[in-house]
């Protein structure tokens, strides 16, 4: 939406009857209505009723439940996301606590959908902001990789992110990252993740090498310029070079996320703390804030 609730509502209007987003569409419309300057409570009530009826329908597809769970996850509504994912799993058996029981994968939800939901549930728990729940999220990723497909991308990324988030065994996280790149060589986010794993390990030379590789694959990658700026500013002490990277960072954001004010602000805030009052950085930071 990026602050344009009215435009979002107009776009969503035409999508309401599409089967795979039969739940996600009214959920997104409710979210948009709640962020309008003048909130239409009657419209929200109608959409909520529509969502409730559709959710209880026996004809609702597994994919529709996964899509609405994805929406709730992206909007930090973790309990709602978890609820719909567990509904998908319960079509094939029973989910208890934070562990998925041994469920028959031949009934109810299709095998692919079932395992998508298992992996997705791991991501929801990992990112929910509750340390106790996040600490057990690897159960879901392990289950997918051990019982379904050892090369499943979402689960491999989840296992890697779990190790990063919990600050455990970064060397293993790096090894998993290498496997992801081997199995999915065209998946650019894996190369970006590699930069950050190496950064957390303090392997600066390898960080720069990884950043240069990402730059080759995706010349306008925001993360690349952020990491290179960090290296030149904090490790190499090359302020002018770092300032050039920051200027390129602003340009990359203007191409990829021109209306994402939050991203501009986050980057400006982070580097303002590192660069102090040096004039060359002040100019770049002001450009970001504008």
- pLDDT digit string (tens) for 103-144? 444 444 477 889 999 999 999 999 999 999 999 999 999 999
Average pLDDT in the 169-182 region? Answer: 96
pLDDT band at 278 (very low <50, low <70, confident <90, very high): low
What's the rounded Cα separation, in Å, for the pair 146 and 161? 17
Name residue, tokens 């070079």.
Answer: 241
What's the rounded Cα separation, in Å, for the pair 159 and 173? 8
Predicted model pTM? 0.85
Comparing CA positions, the residue from 177, 240, 237, 244 lying closest to residue 213 is: 177
Higher pLDDT, residue 99 or 68: 68
pLDDT in tens, 199-233: 999 999 999 999 999 999 999 999 999 999 999 98
The region of weakest confidence among 12-21, 149-158, 203-212 is 12-21
In degrees and rounded to multiples of 5, residue 221 shows phi and psi of -70, 120
- The full set of domain ranges for the chain reads 1-60, 73-149
């Amino acid at each position: 939406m990026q602050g344009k609730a009215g435009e979002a509502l107009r776009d969503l209007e035409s999508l309401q009857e599409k089967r795979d987003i039969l739940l996600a569409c009214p959920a997104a419309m409710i979210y948009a209505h709640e962020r309008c300057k003048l909130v239409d409570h009657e419209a929200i009530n109608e959409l909520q009723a529509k969502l409730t009826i559709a959710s209880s329908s026996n004809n609702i597809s597994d994919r529709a439940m996964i899509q609405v769970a994805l929406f709730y996850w992206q909007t930090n509504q973790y309990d709602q996301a978890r609820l719909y994912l567990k509904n998908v799993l319960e079509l094939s058996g029973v989910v208890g606590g934070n562990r998925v029981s041994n469920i028959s994968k031949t009934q109810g939800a299709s095998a692919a959908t079932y395992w998508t939901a298992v992996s997705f549930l791991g991501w929801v728990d990992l990112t929910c902001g509750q340390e106790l729940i996040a600490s057990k999220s690897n159960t879901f990723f392990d289950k997918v990789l051990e019982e379904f497909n050892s090369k499943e991308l979402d689960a491999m990324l989840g296992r890697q992110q779990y190790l990063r988030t919990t600050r455990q065994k970064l060397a293993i996280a790096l090894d998993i990252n290498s496997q992801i790149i081997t199995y999915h060589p065209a998946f650019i986010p894996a190369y970006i993740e590699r930069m950050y794993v190496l950064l957390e390990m303090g392997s600066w030379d390898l960080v720069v090498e990884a950043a240069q590789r990402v730059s080759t694959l995706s010349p306008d990658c925001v993360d690349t310029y952020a990491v290179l700026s960090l290296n030149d500013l904090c490790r190499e002490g090359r302020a002018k070079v770092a300032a050039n990277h920051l200027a390129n960072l602003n340009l990359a954001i203007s191409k990829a996320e021109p209306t994402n004010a939050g991203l501009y602000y986050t980057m400006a805030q982070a580097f303002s703390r590192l660069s102090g009052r040096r004039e060359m950085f002040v100019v770049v930071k002001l450009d970001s804030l504008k």
